Structure 1
């Protein structure tokens, strides 16, 4: 992104926070799930093919928006190997997330998937419950998340008393619309990976079916059963084939991972 445009977006977002600071008190969530400097690396498989790699990074330094400390999270994804020849993917997502409220102030989306390109900048105002993109300004429910912030917020949820079938609601924003990103608790399971065997919590995001997914419960996610809640495996059926994503590396976790064997 052009640096001038980026600074303008950051400035406008900071002004939004500052100007609204006296209107509404935001929630405060205490957590120890992640910290600045954390890096998660994944390998993506399409059927039996190595299809891509993805990285999620919490930048080492906090950002200050309107006197509020914020995480700056960057997620990237790219196709690899033979898959890169016939369906090139170069994706980048950024989210500036309020450290205390675990809410996004800014969402940047750069998608290039087989020539399909999306460039989107969204600023959130959680004092007035609104979100503004280049195309529209819409009202949003309280505590709405973007695609990236939803993942980090979900890591702060307490599942200690969860029972099979319990649903944890999350409101998500995408393309100037609100949709449910609810997650259903399934249980616990050990997952064997190249990094070792992890003790995991298993759940299913309640997806929007029809566009990509055949059913709204086609995705299963295993996250480490520890205070980190890092994704160990994600597996999903799509309209054409299936995709699996495995954790292959991590740095600067806030807590010891729940590895029970090599």
Structure 2
């Protein structure tokens, strides 16, 4: 279960790939899929029955050098039986401009069973360079980036502001993400539309399957399935994965401050 929150954020963020065909960026204030004050809570379970913990993602309004921006915080903590033998306390933060939805600062502070990281990444688009500050080891390094780079948390919100209406089943989507001092290239496939049952009722969703590396963590390349709401919010609703040992599932457990109605299908 080590790094389970990282896996959760990876699952969520891989949805933010820029398509190999052009997608329209709806980055005007009136069309944003989210707003300051939004709060999402996910329940994470291991092997479908063991409560592993919870994670939350919260959006706040902020400014950077007089430019309007978002401060997004993702936190996770193990709970119940799982915390007795593997304690997790994670804090991910991203700061991104409202107009471009590009991150300018990323923070990662984690403690997972004694495995710790304390890092800050500063993105400079004038030089296309990322500065990684490692406070645990007191080091600072610089790395080249593209102008379209995202971090692991900002990518979720970049995706949510894309027009996914014209996706075709089997269409491949790609993203460049800067994480762990390097650029990672990910791919996923659109599986189609699906209605799933949740604690809130039946919800229309878009289903995706990211191509992940089989081996140490995942059982096989196509081990992960992700569902996001098929509405203007585009929030992650459910994530399932078959791991090398057991399985992992994350479900939306609570929410508030959505920018648009949360559509529930009511049976006649």
TM-score class normalised by the smaller sequence: 0.7 to 0.9
Q: How many residues align?
A: 234
Counterpart of 1:257 (choices 251, 255, 262) is 262
CA shift, 1:258, in A, is: 2.4
Shift of 1:211: 4.4
The aligned runs of 1:1-262 (5 Å cut-off) are 29-30=27-28, 31-47=31-47, 48-59=49-60, 62-134=61-133, 135-261=140-266
Residues 41 and 247, structure 1, Cα contact 8 Å, conserved in 2: yes
Kindly state the Cα deviation for residue 215 of structure 1 after the two structures are TM-superposed.
3.1
Shift of 1:208: 4.0
- 1: CA distance, partners of 2:190 / 2:150: 19
Change (3 A) 1:65 1:28: farther
Q: Which structure 1 residue ranges, 5 or more long, are not aligned?
A: 1-26
CA-based RMSD of the aligned residues comes to: 1.6
Secondary structure at the aligned position of 2:96 is classed as strand
Distance 1:46 1:218, change over 3 A: same
Question: 2:34, 2:221 → 1: CA distance?
Answer: 28
Tell me if structure 2 keeps the 8 A contact 1:28–1:100.
no
Alignment TM-score, normalising by the size of structure 2 = 0.83
Q: Bigger CA drift: 84-93 or 252-261?
A: 252-261
Distance 1:144 1:217 in 2: 25
| Alpha-carbon distance in 1 for matches of 2:216, 2:116 | 17
Task: Flag as ranges the 4+ runs of structure 1 deviating above 4 A.
Answer: none
Normalising by structure 1, we get a TM-score of 0.85
The structure with higher relative contact order (CA 8 Å, sep 6+) is: 2
SS in 2 for 1:235: strand
Q: Could you say what secondary structure the match of 2:127 adopts?
A: coil
